C-alpha cells in the first residue's frame, strides 16, 4: 500500500468519524428536547391561560417556558437582555448605565459558576428552562430572536442576581456614579424609562 493511498484512507475514516460523532452531539440536544416535549401537556382554558402538566418538575418548567414564549417571547427576550447587561443594544445610551453595573459585578461569571455548583435536580430545572425557550424558537422559525438567539441554563440565575440584588442596590443609592459620569447635570439616580415598573 503506497503512502498516498494510506493517507486517503485515514482522511476518509477521519471525516466519517467527525460526521458520526458531531451528528450525534448535534442531535442529542434536539432528541432531549423532543423527548421532554412529548411528556408535557399544555392545556389552555377558555381565557387562554396555559395549564401545564408533566411527570417531573423539569417537564413542567419546560412546558411553562414554552407556553410563556407563545404568549410573549419578545418580552422574555428583552428581560434576559437586561439581566445579562446588554440593554444598550436595545436602548443605546439610555441602557448603558445598567449594563456597566451588571458587567461590573460580574453577573455572568458568577451565574455560570453557581450553575456548576447546583445539585443535579436544580440543574435539571435550569436546563428545562433553557430547553423550553430554545424548543419554542426551533418550532417557530417565523419568530426571530433579535438579541438572544439561544438561551442558556445559567440565564435564569443571572436574572435572579441582577434583579433581586442590583435593583435593591440601585434603589438604595442616593446618587449614581454612572449619572455623574454620563450626564452633564448629575442628579439622584433616576430609573431609565424601561425600568419605571420597578418603583
Q: What is the pLDDT of residue 164?
A: 62
Q: What is the pLDDT of residue 56?
A: 95
Residue 153: inside a domain, yes or no?
A: yes
Residue 124: inside a domain, yes or no?
A: yes
Q: What is the pLDDT of residue 38?
A: 94
Residue 60: inside a domain, yes or no?
A: yes
Residue 165: inside a domain, yes or no?
A: yes
Compute how many other C-beta atoms are within 10 angstroms of the C-beta atom of residue 26: 10
Residue 22: inside a domain, yes or no?
A: no
Q: What is the pLDDT of residue 12?
A: 56
- Cα–Cα distances in Å, from 125 out to 33, 42, 122, 198? 13, 18, 5, 27
> pTM of whole model > 0.75?
no
Give the chain's domain count.
Answer: 1
What are the residues whose beta carbons fall under 8 Å from the beta carbon of 170, sequence distance 6 or more? 101, 176, 189, 191
Q: What is the pLDDT of residue 169?
A: 58
Q: What is the pLDDT of residue 192?
A: 46
Q: What is the CATH number of the domain that holds 158?
A: 1.10.439.10
Rounded Cα–Cα distance for residues 93 and 98 (Å)? 10
Residue 147 near residue 89, CB atoms below 8 Å? yes
Q: What is the pLDDT of residue 20?
A: 44
Phi/psi for 184 (5° steps) reads -70, -35
Question: Domain range for residue 45?
Answer: 33-198
Q: Which stretches of the chain drop beneath a pLDDT of 70?
A: 1-26, 164-199
Q: What is the pLDDT of residue 13?
A: 56
Compute how many other C-beta atoms are within 10 angstroms of the C-beta atom of residue 35: 10
Q: What is the pLDDT of residue 34?
A: 93
Q: What is the pLDDT of residue 64?
A: 96
Residue 55: inside a domain, yes or no?
A: yes
Q: What is the pLDDT of residue 190?
A: 46
Show the cell assigned to 124.
435539571
Amino acid at each position: 500500500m503506497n503512502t498516498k493511498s494510506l493517507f486517503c484512507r485515514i482522511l476518509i475514516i477521519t471525516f466519517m468519524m467527525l460526521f458520526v460523532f458531531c451528528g450525534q452531539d448535534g442531535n442529542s440536544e434536539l432528541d432531549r428536547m423532543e423527548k421532554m416535549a412529548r411528556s408535557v401537556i399544555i392545556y389552555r382554558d377558555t381565557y387562554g391561560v396555559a395549564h401545564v402538566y408533566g411527570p417531573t418538575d423539569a417537564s413542567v418548567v419546560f412546558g411553562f417556558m414554552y407556553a410563556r414564549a407563545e404568549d410573549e417571547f419578545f418580552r422574555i427576550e428583552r428581560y434576559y437582555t437586561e439581566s445579562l447587561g446588554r440593554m444598550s443594544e436595545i436602548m443605546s445610551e439610555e441602557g448603558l448605565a445598567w449594563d456597566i453595573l451588571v458587567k461590573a459585578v460580574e453577573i455572568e461569571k458568577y451565574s455560570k459558576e453557581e450553575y456548576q455548583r447546583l445539585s443535579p435536580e436544580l440543574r435539571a430545572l435550569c436546563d428545562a428552562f433553557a430547553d423550553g425557550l430554545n424548543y419554542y424558537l426551533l418550532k417557530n422559525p417565523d419568530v426571530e430572536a433579535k438579541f438572544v438567539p439561544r438561551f442558556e441554563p445559567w440565564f435564569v440565575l443571572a436574572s435572579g442576581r441582577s434583579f433581586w440584588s442590583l435593583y435593591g442596590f440601585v434603589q438604595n443609592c442616593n446618587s449614581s456614579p454612572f449619572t455623574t459620569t454620563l450626564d452633564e447635570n448629575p442628579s439622584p439616580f433616576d430609573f431609565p424609562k424601561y425600568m419605571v415598573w420597578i418603583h
